Amino acid sequence: MRVLLIEDEPDLARQLSTALDEAGYAVDIAGDGEEGHFLGDTEPYDAVVLDLGLPKMDGLSVLERWRQAGRDMPVLILTARDRWNEKVAGIDAGADDYVTKPFHIEEVLARLRALVRRAAGHATNDLVCGDLRLDTRASRVTVDGNPIKLTALEYRLLAYLMHHRDRVVSRTELVEHLYDQNFDRDSNTIEVFVGRLRKKLGRDLIRTVRGLGYRLTDDADEA
């Protein structure tokens, strides 16, 4: 899962980026509104964390332009403003949720998880496919109750497929949502990670759809 963080305070941006990375997200960072708007307008993101008080272009304008252009990714607003009318303006501009500074990092992560899972049509933190379970809150994967150790990229790949269960996901889409903008992307590596996941899970839940991509589905669904 890939997230855009738009925050002009370097220390806060670093703290949030580290927390997001540890939670299993690929993170792109923008330090001003113009750069943030450009990235959000040209790259596919599963969610955006957007500060309102930004240089060059304020967060509210960034959000309004995205929505006017039809960009519908979930957006979580960060704001130091505590007046209710400013929060309402953010929601009316198209934000999905907000957090007021100062805040606990855990709250940002929890609200972001909720936005991502709702956008994918899930009601809880637990994503299930047969006896495979992924707890997005703890970044924990189990098969039949037994924990499975995954690398960061393996976890991101599985999490994306779990969020989009029963849908065919192309290699291109996976590359776009697994790696940040600075990563040397290669769609051929996706096949390698899929192979590793199949071995670690011990289940043939990730099906190859020739010429199209991959689909995660329960064995019982194919019966």
In terms of Cβ atoms closer than 10 Å to its own Cβ (0-12, 13-18, 19+), residue 49 is buried
Q: Which of 78, 94, 119 is the last residue of a domain?
A: 119
Please tell me whether residues 138 and 113 are part of one structural domain: no
pLDDT number for residue 187: 63
Rg of the chain over Cα atoms, rounded to whole angstroms, equals 18
CATH of the domain at 18: 3.40.50.2300
Please tell me whether residues 31 and 81 are part of one structural domain: yes
Please tell me whether residues 146 and 95 are part of one structural domain: no
| Total of domains in the chain | 2
Please tell me whether residues 13 and 63 are part of one structural domain: yes
- How many CA atoms are closer than 13 Å to the CA of 197, on its beta-carbon side? 27
Query: pLDDT (tens digit, 9 = 90+) per residue, 149-168?
Result: 999 999 999 999 999 999 99
Please tell me whether residues 74 and 171 are part of one structural domain: no
Please tell me whether residues 104 and 192 are part of one structural domain: no
Q: Which of 71, 93, 119 is the last residue of a domain?
A: 119
Please tell me whether residues 108 and 137 are part of one structural domain: no
Domain around 92: 2-119
Please tell me whether residues 84 and 143 are part of one structural domain: no
In the predicted structure, residue 22 carries a pLDDT above the cut 60 = yes
Beta-carbon contacts of residue 72 (< 8 Å; ≥ 6 apart): none
Of residues 3 and 190, more confidence is placed in 3
- pTM of model > 0.85: yes
